[in-house]
Structure 1
Amino acid sequence: MKKFVMAALGGTLAGAVLTTQVAGPLIAQQADKQSSVYEQLDLFGDIFERIRAQYVEEVESAELIEAAINGMLTSLDPHSSYLPPKDFDDMQVQTRGEFGGLGIEVTQEEGFVKVVSPIDDTPADEAGIEAGDFITHVDGESVLGLTLDGAVELMRGPVGSEIVITVVRSGIDEPFDVTITRDTIKLTAVRSRVEGETVVLRVTTFNDQTYPNLKQKLEESIEELGGMDNVNGIVLDLRNNPGGLLTQAIKVSDAFLNAGEIVSTRGRNPQDSDRYNAVDGDLSDGKPMVVLINGGSASASEIVAGALQDHRRAIVVGTKSFGKGSVQTVMPLRGNGAMRLTTARYYTPSGRSIQALGVSPDIVVPQPPRVPVTEEETDADTPRTRSEADLRGSLSNDSMTDDERKQAEEEQAKAAEAAKLREEDYQLAYAVDLLKGLSALETSD
């Protein structure tokens, strides 16, 4: 018994020594970390005071602190930043759908401003700015070395005023200048049109109005075609859509799904992860779908494209998307400013992250470059193909009734319209033809 007590006591002492040996260094290490943080803050305070006292010109303390905060955030990734009160107000206005500017969504890459996408029917779009363009100078002033917010500030100005931006574009050897007149940007979240028996929904941004507009435009287009039975499919055009609100991306995806995961977000801590699932109710009654994407499709656009692709709900056509697979949370701060901080990555239903990779289309269809039409180019220059009907003395088709002849003429008119669409927008024409082919196969079955 005495040996047992001694053994137990020895075990307790050994455990106490072991705990001290393990916990002691950990506590010391934590204390060293805290001490290091305080030392760094003391260093910051020292530099701050020296700048205020010894810099060649007097500087405002608030501006120094704001620059330090923004520098801390922008060092993390291209999408985290500090929003001063004015920028925070501007951002809230943009999500509501109207603001002043050029009409481009930009990011920063290698010190220069990179165009994510021009917004439809805006000054930048009309001036020919393209996704992937690099802006190197604004009114002759280099943007190299500026923060993204600083470069954007250079591009801002009164509505009606002109700005000259210098652009570097892939495939063009020399930089070139583009003159743009600033205007009030009114974002129409969703436009619709009918091409034959296909409903085309053009989604330009994901703001507060996106899902309500999409639902309304889809219903109007279905009514225009005389009911869902006359619709052969839907094209969801997300090209040059820079993204926007996560909640709206989820609603748009859900509009065409009956069940299953739409997207998941995963933060640093497991408890910060979320999954968003579809509920029953497909607005298109399961009609075939094509989603159009390109290098200007980012963020929320990629969530929608990825969800519909993973669920085999739509065929994705176009070129690889931008590859922004992170989620930013805007946190209001004291003084009416805010902090935009990357807090999570998002994943498509299959579990893939598109961060820096993008969504790869099921069918790669590049958009041919715009070729300006010169005055010398006329219809007479285009050789006309001759057919049997053009031959002198050719026999007429006496087997066709008037109704059949009328139908043939209508089909020829449709073919001419399809050819015109291919000239205007090859990717969209491809999507419409794809749905037309799928509809023909279903009819033959």
Structure 2
Amino acid sequence: MVRPLLQATAIVGALALVPIANGAMAQVDSDSYRELDTFMDVYNRVRASYVDKVDDKVLVKGAIQGMLAALDPHSSYVDALDFDNMRIATEGNYGGLGLTVTMIDGAIKVIAPTEDTPAARAGIKAGDYITHIDGKLIYGGSLDEAISQMRGPANTKVTLTLVRPGQEKPITATMTREIIVQKPVKWEVKDGIGIININTFSAQTGADTRAAVAAIEKALGHKPLGYIVDLRENGGGLLNEAIEVSDVFLDHGEIVSQRGREKTDIERYYAEAGDLTQGLPIIVLVDAGTASASEIVAGALQDHHRAIVMGERTFGKGSVQTLLPLGPETALRLTTARYYTPSGRSVQEGGIEPDLKVPQISDPDYKDRPVFREADLRRHLINEAKVDNSVLEDDGKPDPRFTESAEALKKRGIEDFQLHYALQTLGRLGPAPRAVATAAPAKKR
């Protein structure tokens, strides 16, 4: 036991001065020494007494992951597989099912299925829990292991067993893997209105949004009545792409600010002159799956009174993660700041309340399906500047426009009520132009 104790002393001594992000050195106090002594005591006891011989790399990785998990749900240790997953998230193209998932208390939970993928066609929904893959229980395994099992060569089959809150019987879905090509932006024109469906904020989202605006005008031969920017079930992505997308619709002003640990640690981002849509009316569609970078866009357009935000309250992820490299293929994904909308609002926990609440009544189980948001995650960051909504009046009476059944809507050919309602709202501004063109169909739920 002498050598491990000497190693512990060396490690503790080396940590007396710890480098931090800006290159300065943070002094470790005596309390920190005591905690590090406890950690090394546990480490040595596990190495010496565990029933099987343990790989030091496994212990250290587990300790790092546990330390970061104690902070918040979005800080994590990034290894080679995580790097590959992040590359896929920002670049796209992989063999799989088209599912965005997370792990909560050892269980794999669906954040959202990507539209027009095997998962979406199989009817998998946000909030479902995946319990088995090809009949094998996956509870207690890692998120990376589950993702690896769901991915695979195109044209191969995989069966998922899912539990849906509110339903007694498990759901079994057998799907054929496909090459999932992530298209960040799709567009179409309907009733003379341009619909821009933004699915993720990856490396091309800003450029593709500008291209969609130009394509809509070209297809019509003139400017549309207005635009619907669909951010539903968009889990976010790159901050710079959210800024670029916001800038498409804004002529001036702040888009977002991010504020770190110190009061002076503030970065602000501003729109450049020139609104590509030239002031035409905009409706932004949001729901509980609208998160992070999507909330930056919705919040910026709402605060500048540039758009009507319509739908349901957003997810409420108002934190910024920075990738801090540790080696060639490892890094810390660490929460380093909170972001704020132009008016100084933090969307952390509470999300963005729509200007006009419109439920998705075309979804048969919209009333019964549990909704999953940031505030439901363990150890989520607390919003330090909560908004008091008690002054808002609510008469408690259901809006008669939102009481029609999903079956009745389907008979009228309405599969996406929120989109239908947004089209009606913009259409009241004037007569719709005659020309109608379509490209890359937008979301249907």
Q: Same fold, TM exceeding 0.5?
A: yes
Give the count of matched residue pairs: 363
Supply the distance in 2 between the matched residues of 1:359 and 1:143 (Cα, whole angstroms): 34
Q: CA deviation at 1:64?
A: 1.6
Aligned to 2:89: 94
If asked which structure has higher relative contact order (CA below 8 Å, sep 6+), I would say 2
Displacement of 1:153 in angstroms is 4.5
> 2:415 aligns to what?
424
Instruction: Compute the displacement of 1:371 (Å).
Output: 5.9
2:279 aligned partner: 286
Q: Residues 278-331 of structure 1, C-alpha deviation per residue, up to 9 Å, x if partnerless?
A: 121111111101111111111111111111111111111111111111111112
Q: Look up the equivalent residue of 2:428 and give its one-letter code.
A: G
Mark the CA change 1:208 to 1:421 in structure 2 (over 3 Å): closer, same or farther.
farther
**Matched position secondary structure for 1:271:** coil
**1:233-280: CA deviations, max 9, x gaps?**
101011111100000001101110111111111111123221111121
State which of 164, 171, 189 in structure 1 corresponds to 2:159.
Answer: 164
Aligned pair 1:204/2:195, yes or no? Answer: no
User: Of the candidates 337, 346, 349, which is equivalent to residue 344 of structure 1?
Assistant: 337
Is the partner of 2:414 in helix, strand or coil?
helix
Q: Return the alpha-carbon distance in structure 2 between the equivalents of residues 73 and 333 of structure 1.
A: 15
What CA distance in whole angstroms lies between the structure 2 residues aligned with 1:369 and 1:440? 26
Q: CA 1:101–1:337 in 2, change beyond 3 Å: closer, same or farther?
A: farther
Question: Would you say the 8 A contact 1:99–1:185 is kept in 2?
Answer: yes
Rg bigger for which structure? 1
**How far 1:434 moved relative to its partner?**
0.8
**Is 1:130 aligned to 2:125, yes or no?**
yes
Counting aligned pairs with the same residue, the percent is: 49
Q: Which residue of 2 aligns with 1:23?
A: none
Give the letter aligned to residue 53 of structure 2: E
Matches of 1:121 and 1:89 in 2, distance apart? 23
2:52 paired with 1:57: yes
Q: Deviations over 1:15-57 (max 9, x none)?
A: xxxxxxxxxxxxxxxxx97233223323323322332332222
RMSD: 2.6
CA distance, structure 1, for counterparts of residue 318 and residue 138 of structure 2: 26
Query: Are 1:277 and 2:270 an aligned pair?
Result: yes
Residue 118 of structure 1 aligns to which amino acid in structure 2?
A: P
1:75 and 1:151 mapped to 2: Cα distance? 22
Task: Using the TM superposition, give the Cα deviation of residue 156 of structure 1 relative to its aligned residue in structure 2, in angstroms.
Answer: 4.0
Alignment-derived partner of residue 104 in structure 1: 99
User: Structure 1 CA distance, aligned partners of 2:65 and 2:124?
Assistant: 28
CA contact (8 A) 1:166 1:176 kept: yes
Asked whether the equivalents of residues 362 and 410 of structure 2 are also in contact (C-alpha less than 8 Å), the reply is no
Checking the alignment, whether the CA contact within 8 Å between 1:266 and 1:274 is kept in structure 2 is: yes
SS class of match (1:303): helix
Distance 2:66 2:322 in 1: 18
> What are the superposed Cα offsets for residues 356-395 of structure 1, whole Å, 9 maximum, x if unpaired?
21211112222235569xxxxxxxxxxxxxxxxxxxxxxx
Deviates more, 1:54-63 or 1:161-170: 161-170
Partners in 1 of 2:177 and 2:35 — Cα distance?
44
Instruction: Give ranges in structure 2 of 5+ residues lacking alignment.
Output: 1-26, 366-408, 433-445
Q: Measure, in 1, the Cα distance between the counterparts of 2:44 and 2:151.
A: 33
Question: CA, structure 1 residues 66+254, in 2 after alignment: closer, same or farther (shift >3 Å)?
Answer: same
Q: Is the 8 A contact 2:362 2:417 kept in 1?
A: no
Q: TM-score normalised to the size of structure 2?
A: 0.75
Aligned position for 1:44: 39
The separation in 2 between residues aligned to 1:140 and 1:74, in whole angstroms, is 29
After TM superposition, which residue ranges in structure 1, 4 or more long, deviate above 6 angstroms?
A: 418-421
